[in-house]
């Protein structure tokens, strides 16, 4: 189990979540950062250009929507967003 999944389980962040789990939110944020996306619509369009390949990236949904991403960012526990930012910062720091 990865550190991210341990944190999600510890804070019980996927409680009452049916679609777009925390891991998918993390993947969307990471994808946006790595591909220099600036807005939710841009993230949605880029992810949905190849909807059949989303599964291979780790997404369980067939398509993403900007309202889904916005709702996840708004309603998730703030600690999980902090963890996502920390993981991204640390991985970026090691690469440089």
Q: What residue has token string 């994808």?
A: 31
pLDDT exceeds 80 at position 91: no
**What confidence score (pLDDT) does residue 2 get?**
79
Task: Please enumerate, as own/partner, the contacts of 33-37 that have beta carbons within 8 Å and a separation of 24 or more.
Answer: 33/88
pLDDT digits (tens, 9 = 90+) for 38-53: 888 999 999 999 888 8
**CA separation for the pair 56, 8 (Å, rounded):** 21
Express each pLDDT in 45-87 by its tens digit.
Answer: 999 998 888 888 888 888 888 888 888 888 887 887 787 777 7
* Tens-place pLDDT, residues 18-33: 888 888 988 888 888 8
């Amino acid at each position: 189990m990865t550190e991210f999944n341990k944190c999600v389980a510890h804070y019980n962040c996927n409680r009452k979540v049916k679609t777009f789990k925390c891991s998918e939110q993390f993947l969307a944020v990471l994808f946006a950062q790595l591909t220099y996306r600036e807005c939710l619509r841009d993230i949605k369009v880029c992810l949905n250009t190849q909807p059949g390949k989303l599964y291979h990236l780790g997404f369980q949904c067939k398509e993403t929507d900007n309202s889904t991403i916005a709702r996840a960012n708004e309603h998730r526990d703030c600690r999980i967003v902090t963890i996502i930012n920390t993981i991204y910062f640390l991985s970026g720091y090691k690469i440089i």
